[in-house]
Structure 1
Amino acid sequence: MDAGPSGRPAAGDLRQLLRHVLEDFQSRGGRLHIPIGCHGLEDWLMDAISVPDLLQKLSAGAKDITLLQVCKSKSTTPSQRNLQTNGDPPIISMAELLSRSSGDVRGSGLPASAQEVDANEPVLDLPQLRTGLEEHQLKELAYTVFVGCCSQSGDADLLKVMQGQLEMNDSRAAEVQRILATAASWDGAAPASAVATLEMHVKLLQRVRPANFDSFRNFVRWRDTVSSVVLQILTQAVQDPDNARNSDAVASSSQARHMLARLRGGMRRISVRDADEYDEAEYTEATSTVFEAAAAIASLSSSGWQFPWGLRVRLADLMLRGMFDVLDEGTFIAEKDALLQLLQTRVWPVLGIQPHIHSTIFAWIHFRQFAVTGNQDLLEATTFLIQGIANSPKRSGQGSSLADAAADEEFGVEVAAAIEHWIVLRMSDYHQNFGDPELMHGLVEVLVVAEQSKGADAAVPQVLEACIRSSMEAAYLRLVSTAATEGADDAKNIIAIAKATGALFTFELATYSPLLAPHLPTANQAAARRLHGCFGSDLLTWLLEVKDLAGSTLDAVREADALEVRLLEHVPGGLGDTKPWGTMQLLSPLLYKWVSGQLALLTAWSDRIFETEDWKAVTQPRGCARSAVEVISIAREAIEGLFGMKLPLQVDLVRALTEGIDGVLSRYATLIVEKVGSTDVLIPPPPTLTRYKRELALKAEMEASGDSPRSVRHKPSLSDESLAAFAGDEARLKALTAATLVVRLNSLQYVADHLPDMEKMVQERWQATVPTSARRADGSLGQQDWLFGMFEGAQQSVQHAIEAITQFTGTKVIFYDIRKPILEDLYKHRVDKARIGPVLELMDSALGNMAAETHPEVQPQLIRTMLEAAITAISRVLLDGGPYRFFIPDDTELIEQDLEELNVMFHADGDGLPREEITEALGPISELLTVLGLETGILISNLKQARAAEKSGVSPPGTGSSRLLVYDADVLQHVLAHRADRVASKFLKKEFRMPKKAGGSTGFANGFSSGLSKWRTKIKQKM
């Protein structure tokens, strides 16, 4: 159905579409704020909603939408409909004007006939344009300004033309010219162009008398018009708080209100209706009061005597509309060029209309005339004018000029938005409204330049896509009502609708998509997505009610599949939030049963393989276990079995299998971790904390060196105590050799390496099951998001398992395999006699052997966990070293040297970890060495302060991590306990009753050990 630019989408269709969009917004957690007094989504409210504004909020991800904020506004620009060139406008009583409340002043003041804007006309709602003046008053004021500015031009014909365009009859026009001529003869009179200022009109009130008119009635009409202009402008100046000139805004406002009251009083006094009531002296006195009050208000206003910005723009709008023929609104008058030049050279400089505003107003008028007449030539002119707006000189300056510049800028944006609103409203159903593609093409060009003028170039594709979606849905709803036959078989109706939908899509690609493609290259994709969603909704509703696979049902499924394939050919990027229809879902229940059986078999098989696993390498190099090879093999066989059926498999069915395999592989990784166990069993409890006793320390050192007749070999060592802690797990831990742990790591990495191949296998095999008719020209099916990340759960489980096994391996090497060299021998008795060298040799050997057999992807993580375990062990030696480790401040230098050797070893000339990472990991021990280097007296003092702070509930002294460690009570107690200093020993004995030998009953060790948990956590976090 063809329609002109005035066409609109069917009201019922648009309301239904809007309700669906808003209800969907609410169902997804959005909040709608409905106007007070409105009961739900009523028809009138749906009709008032601005579709582009609503779409903009939805696309921006708004969570709350106030419907009033997305409703359309009435135009404040008067219509040129029903103009009468003869007869006087009605006289408005000054009493009526003065009785209006202050809030009425900002109303549009348009007569009812002008406010009832035709539905086809674009509307512009800008508060600054609401002058409060009637249309005939604005026209008379516009004519007065025009005559004042142009009477000296010598072209009486143009004055006559503007008189007719502004509906001024001869008598009124003659009065205006006579008044201005009289004013020019006054002593010290301002130039005639001063009539474009408020001061001139106030002076006219002062000096013009009834004798200047043909009748007293004409005088009353003129006086009321001028009084209305003066009163409205000055009332707005008083009510606008930003208009105050004085920095003391409160005082200025109070004084202005007082002057406004005086002005109103003077206006009442001059408002005589009959000649018999007129008194010259009284009138003269009253007009003097009016002038004084007006002058006072103008002096307090930043704009002074100048007409407000909105009034000047309205006057310019009225004059520029005069460029068009009153009877044929789509054509210009013959005098258009001469009249336009006169306006630009004589009137605009007086009114302060900048080229930018001239272009904006003229563009708006051209577009409005197009909307009224349908003249497409006006679209080209509109496009040219809007493009010229950006290149037009802008206003600059300070004070009122700065305010005018801001208003100028806002005006351009508002005009562009109003044009966009009108176009988008009609393009929301362009199938119905634009049977002529050329007309739509012209409007799209105007829409694009309007968006560009607002600086919103990037929004053009979004706006056009929203129009496509809306129009495609409206067109689809119409075709459903015509294609479906009442009483016919549902399957046959689906076939008819599918064919009609395909025809609609063909028409869209041939007619509208090429017009939209220059500004929205994906126009065909947007149309395909929308039709896919529309038809899919009806198709799925029907499929849910299908009870058998009759011939017509299969025909409908095939027709629907063919339509989907065709639509998807134009959606290379995928359907976004829309899912494929899945027509095979109700046709393949047995496939789900088959998948369920395959997964059960796969689970049982993998469990049986795992139970018989001996963790010996079966592949080279860096071998993995037999169980890993077989679990991947049977998973691949299950995938091959499903796709070997060569059916057009539904996505959910394939995902059921892949998710099941994902679960089996995740379980395989989890079982490996569970069988290995936790690292907690590897770390023995700390020895009992004892204080330094010189005699005992010397005795122990002599026994260790063999100088004492009593051999230390007869005493249990720390490693013996550690073995006791492993009693229940000793056999299991011995079986968990470094070699078997490496095989476990390689097995996990083997699974991780094959997951991408399996994912690719599913992708390729699934596409191979799709019929040729559903393929693109290149044989592909486009992007299918569901095909990616299908084994993500297994990938994560495998990575977690690798982390756990590497953590266990590193901890086992340090705390189990070389526990004696590091936990017992390192720094025993004297630091300088028990350095870290032998420990590093053992660690280097163990690490080298494992790294050589470990998968390259796992090596860095394995090295990192061993470093973490080594740091934990060293921190234990320094703080929980047992009765044979005592330190002095000078030892810190040797320990720092040992840490540097540790750094060098794990860096391995660049083959290991980065230097920066190792240094950062060693940070907590470096902080601890700061404490170890403190003198005993400082340690005791800090400990006392820390305990006092704890008792009082305040934070300990100092700031920064190192300073806080210096005041950490638990760390200080452990450092003092290992301090080879009699003073420290006496302090601990006195203050804490700390024993000098292990085996006491004070329970002291447990209390101290638990106090270091936060610091040890910090060490782990560094890793």
Structure 2
Amino acid sequence: MQFLESVFFPALGLSPSTAQAVNAWVHFCMYVSTGCKEQRLVKQLKQHISKLATAAAEAPLRGSDPFGLALDGAPAPAEEISRDGALAAQVANHIVDWVYGRLCGYHVAFPKGENLAALLDVFVFACKSRGDGPQRLAELLVEAVCLSATSSFQQQMRARMDPGAPNEARLLEMASIAHDIHDADANIFCPALAPHMPAALAVAAVQMHILYGQHLVPWLGISKSISPAVLDVFRTANVLEQRLTGPITMAGGGGGSAAASGLHPPAVAEVVSSFRRWDLSNPLKAALLQWVGVQVSNTATWTARALQTEKWKPMGSGPDVAHTSSAAEVSRMTLEALDALYGMDVPMPAEVPQALLEGIDAVMRKYVTHVNEKLGALQRLIPPLPQPVRYKKDIVVKNEQAEREAGRNSVKGGKGKMAFLSSVPTVESSPDFTNISASLTPETLTAAACSLHFLYGRAEALVQVARERQLQSAAVHSLALPQPASTAGSAKCSPAKSEGSSSIGEAPEPLLHARTALMTGMQYACKFLATRVVFWDQRTPWLELLYRHHVTQPASRIDPVLEGLHMVLGATCPGLPDAVRTAFAKHLMVASVQAAERVLLDGGPCRWFMPADVQAIDQDMHKLRALFHADGDGLDRELIDSELERVRRLLPLMRVEVGPLMDMLKTARTHGTAQLMAPSGGPGNVYDESTILRVLVHRPERTGSKMLKSAYKLPKKAK
């Protein structure tokens, strides 16, 4: 080549520019003939093309020196300059075309990236030698990257894809191909492209995103159900998109980003800014919500079946196993549904676990409804109030004498005559006797209360588990929402839009309604059990025998009743969880106070109280308080005192002699209420007409009886 340059080319009369073009072409042909493997030829080719590009850039300058004042002497004629430029451009065009063809398939042409960097230098110098500017060079490189990625993707699809495979299997294999190509781009090809196009990896990632999306997006439109294969596609597509998004984001692309246009040539900025994420969220959410609907429906069906066959027996003898099998089954099913949801290991839209928890909420509330309907109203357990009657001494004495002769607990006297004057109906006469006695036993009610308490605890645990699993899922998976196209005018949110978006509240507290219903249901079951103990099982001791005829008789005092309560507490409480035990004890105390208040105000025709009896009644209330306080091991003293206040408030009124009591009743009848002066002389309690009347009804004085007869038409016997 030195001989050609120093002797042959001058002898032929070739200008330096023409000689450089011939040199470049000869070296290029030699390089191609070696299979593009000779590194020395590449270096020389780069030198010649570089000189050719420099000469092409300097030619116009020589034309501007007509007097030959430059160092190289007089310029060549314009015709020669034009001819030399055309030849140089023609050589450059051939080199560019040939290299461009190789670059459009560089994944195949240079599988290991060998000589790619050097050939890219040749390509760039050749483009410059024919007059291409930076923008045109960027356009050619962008086209080459996109075409090579497309060619490689299609070629590997033909080689690796099974045409008869299901759509999901094909998409998984295509994702593997995309990962392989992106690996090659990141590690082999784009480092060679980076000196000439720094955003080459971003351009390649956008093109790969488009190629895979052409197959993924149609599948997303038809995928409506959940299966292992479908979940694999969602997981794989999300991972692929996150990987491809990395270099695109670094290049400032996505969503019509204005940053990309300022950082890169227009051709690069156009590609990078065109990036739009796949809408994985909505199709995945729709499929998951359909799955959630099926799970909730199945759980509701299984819960209904479990309740239909429930025997309401505890699973064991301790507080931890005091619940029933149906409660355990509901807990198991709901936790398994939550585990199955997060076990899918896919990006989890927040609406999906929220929908599952809402379904579980409904299932648990139906469980509470079933228990409440099984129990029914409390009034089934409480007998009606006896008819108020006025005192008639001969009737009272006759009835008390008949009871004494027949035996206090005997219902019938001699010759079939009634000896025991009942204040309330017996439980056997209730229309609900069979149902309550057979189906609502204390053991059944205890099991129901413990089951509701167990589910309440499981609901709280389920909420905590759901929160933890959602945080774990968010840390592992990142599901990007599709970006809407933005413009310069929409770069800033309008105040109206911002205000509207901030008004949207957070999602409601999970399982809030279920937990409230379960807690309320547990309290109601305990209240039902306590009411049954006092007003059903112990109806006679409370409503018939307590303070019957004479308060001061030992058999009429509260001690036998408290003994019965103590036995119930001792037999029931040890097997209950703490919360259920406390609730039952509280409601049993409340029911006992209600029964005591009823005895004092609506005790029926066999209860007569004198002012002197108040001290004994007050002592009995202290005994009742001591039973439930249990020396500090039971209920709080403040809670007991707040309930007993209703009874203790009656005691000052019961101490009033019959004359002042009648005056108070007259005042209350006129004004609605009457005030009782305190012993200290200050204002005391205020009582309504009904309370004063019912206290007077239980006074064994003739004067009070006459007033009740004349003013209120009360009979002397119950009808």
Please, what TM-score do these two structures have when normalized by structure 2? 0.55
Please, which of 656, 661, 665 is the counterpart of residue 939 of structure 1? 661
Query: Displacement of 1:617 after TM fit?
Result: 1.3
Q: Which amino acid aligns with 1:882?
A: G
Please, which of 694, 703, 710 is the counterpart of residue 974 of structure 1? 694
Q: Residue 878 of structure 1: SS of its match in structure 2? A: helix
Query: Distance between the aligned counterparts of 1:744 and 1:564, measured in 2?
Result: 60
Query: Distance between the aligned counterparts of 1:935 and 1:691, measured in 2?
Result: 17
2:466 aligned with 1:759: no
Q: Which amino acid aligns with 1:917?
A: L
Superposition map of 1:618-1017 within 5 A: 618-622=315-319, 623-706=322-405, 711=414, 714-715=418-419, 717-718=421-422, 721-723=425-427, 726-770=430-474, 772=476, 774=478, 789-833=509-553, 834-950=556-672, 956=674, 966-999=686-719
Structure label with greater radius of gyration:
2
Total equivalences in the alignment? 429
Q: Which amino acid aligns with 2:613?
A: D
Whether contact under 8 Å (2:375, 2:440) holds in the other structure is: yes
2:300 aligned with 1:603: yes
Query: Displacement of 1:735 after TM fit?
Result: 2.7
Residues 927 and 957 (structure 1), Cα distance of their counterparts in 2 relative to 1, 3 Å cut:
closer
Question: Which residue number corresponds to residue 473 of structure 1?
Answer: none
Q: Which runs of 5+ in 1 are unaligned?
A: 1-491, 493-545, 567-580, 776-784, 1000-1023
Question: Which residue number corresponds to residue 114 of structure 2?
Answer: none
Whether contact under 8 Å (1:617, 1:624) holds in the other structure is: yes
Question: Which residue number corresponds to residue 21 of structure 1?
Answer: none
Q: Residue 647 of structure 1: SS of its match in structure 2? A: coil
Superposition map of 1:585-604 within 5 A: 585-604=282-301
Residues 721 and 789 (structure 1), Cα distance of their counterparts in 2 relative to 1, 3 Å cut:
same
Query: Distance between the aligned counterparts of 2:247 and 2:564, measured in 1?
Result: 70
Query: How big is the alpha-carbon RMSD for the aligned residues of Structure 1 and Structure 2?
Result: 3.7
4+ residue runs over 6 A deviation:
553-557, 559-566, 785-788
Q: Residue 697 of structure 1: SS of its match in structure 2? A: helix
Query: Distance between the aligned counterparts of 1:738 and 1:629, measured in 2?
Result: 21
Superposition map of 1:160-175 within 5 A: none
Query: Displacement of 1:727 after TM fit?
Result: 2.1
Residues 703 and 560 (structure 1), Cα distance of their counterparts in 2 relative to 1, 3 Å cut:
farther
Q: Residue 649 of structure 2: SS of its match in structure 1? A: helix
Question: Which residue number corresponds to residue 195 of structure 1?
Answer: none
Query: Displacement of 1:963 after TM fit?
Result: 6.5
Superposition map of 1:449-528 within 5 A: none
Please, which of 313, 325, 328 is the counterpart of residue 616 of structure 1? 313
Q: Which amino acid aligns with 2:353?
A: V
Query: Distance between the aligned counterparts of 1:562 and 1:879, measured in 2?
Result: 81
Query: Displacement of 1:891 after TM fit?
Result: 0.6
Q: Which amino acid aligns with 2:600?
A: L
Residues 787 and 857 (structure 1), Cα distance of their counterparts in 2 relative to 1, 3 Å cut:
farther
Query: Displacement of 1:555 after TM fit?
Result: 9.8
Question: Which residue number corresponds to residue 96 of structure 1?
Answer: none
Deviations 1:17-38 (A, max 9, x none): xxxxxxxxxxxxxxxxxxxxxx
Whether contact under 8 Å (1:945, 1:967) holds in the other structure is: no
Whether contact under 8 Å (1:562, 1:773) holds in the other structure is: no
> RCO (CA 8 Å, sep 6+): is it higher in 1 or 2?
2
Whether contact under 8 Å (1:591, 1:653) holds in the other structure is: yes
Residues 916 and 665 (structure 1), Cα distance of their counterparts in 2 relative to 1, 3 Å cut:
same
Residues 968 and 759 (structure 1), Cα distance of their counterparts in 2 relative to 1, 3 Å cut:
closer
Query: Distance between the aligned counterparts of 1:563 and 1:689, measured in 2?
Result: 90
Residues 994 and 583 (structure 1), Cα distance of their counterparts in 2 relative to 1, 3 Å cut:
same
Residues 942 and 963 (structure 1), Cα distance of their counterparts in 2 relative to 1, 3 Å cut:
farther
Query: Distance between the aligned counterparts of 2:245 and 2:526, measured in 1?
Result: 51
Query: Displacement of 1:922 after TM fit?
Result: 0.6
Q: Residue 401 of structure 2: SS of its match in structure 1? A: helix
Query: Displacement of 1:626 after TM fit?
Result: 0.6
Deviations 1:630-655 (A, max 9, x none): 11111112112222221111110111
Query: Distance between the aligned counterparts of 1:564 and 1:713, measured in 2?
Result: 102
Q: Which amino acid aligns with 1:804?
A: Y
Query: Distance between the aligned counterparts of 1:936 and 1:671, measured in 2?
Result: 52
Query: Distance between the aligned counterparts of 2:317 and 2:666, measured in 1?
Result: 62
Whether contact under 8 Å (2:675, 2:685) holds in the other structure is: no
Query: Displacement of 1:959 after TM fit?
Result: 9.2
Whether contact under 8 Å (2:674, 2:689) holds in the other structure is: no
Query: Distance between the aligned counterparts of 2:338 and 2:311, measured in 1?
Result: 28
Deviations 1:725-773 (A, max 9, x none): 5223433344312122111121112112222332333234334444647
Residues 965 and 695 (structure 1), Cα distance of their counterparts in 2 relative to 1, 3 Å cut:
farther
Query: Displacement of 1:988 after TM fit?
Result: 1.2
Q: Which amino acid aligns with 2:532?
A: K
Residues 636 and 713 (structure 1), Cα distance of their counterparts in 2 relative to 1, 3 Å cut:
farther
Q: Which amino acid aligns with 1:864?
A: K
Deviations 1:971-1010 (A, max 9, x none): 11111111011111112112222111111xxxxxxxxxxx
Query: Distance between the aligned counterparts of 2:519 and 2:248, measured in 1?
Result: 39
Query: Distance between the aligned counterparts of 2:540 and 2:347, measured in 1?
Result: 65
Superposition map of 1:438-453 within 5 A: none
Q: Which runs of 5+ in 2 are unaligned?
A: 1-145, 147-216, 222-233, 251-277, 480-504
Query: Displacement of 1:921 after TM fit?
Result: 1.2
Query: Distance between the aligned counterparts of 1:549 and 1:849, measured in 2?
Result: 62
Please, what TM-score do these two structures have when normalized by structure 1? 0.39
Q: Which amino acid aligns with 1:990?
A: S
Residues 902 and 559 (structure 1), Cα distance of their counterparts in 2 relative to 1, 3 Å cut:
same
Q: Which amino acid aligns with 2:365?
A: S
Whether contact under 8 Å (2:449, 2:523) holds in the other structure is: no
Whether contact under 8 Å (1:889, 1:935) holds in the other structure is: yes
Residues 715 and 965 (structure 1), Cα distance of their counterparts in 2 relative to 1, 3 Å cut:
farther
Residues 977 and 771 (structure 1), Cα distance of their counterparts in 2 relative to 1, 3 Å cut:
closer
Query: Displacement of 1:694 after TM fit?
Result: 1.2
Query: Distance between the aligned counterparts of 1:888 and 1:680, measured in 2?
Result: 31
Q: Which amino acid aligns with 2:303?
A: S
Deviations 1:820-859 (A, max 9, x none): 0010000000001110000000011112211112111221
Query: Displacement of 1:893 after TM fit?
Result: 0.6
Residues 773 and 591 (structure 1), Cα distance of their counterparts in 2 relative to 1, 3 Å cut:
closer
Deviations 1:948-971 (A, max 9, x none): 224xxxx655799x9686542111
Q: Which amino acid aligns with 1:791?
A: L
Whether contact under 8 Å (1:931, 1:966) holds in the other structure is: no
Query: Distance between the aligned counterparts of 2:684 and 2:366, measured in 1?
Result: 44
Whether contact under 8 Å (1:966, 1:972) holds in the other structure is: no
Q: Which amino acid aligns with 2:282?
A: Q
Q: Residue 588 of structure 1: SS of its match in structure 2? A: helix
Q: Residue 749 of structure 1: SS of its match in structure 2? A: helix
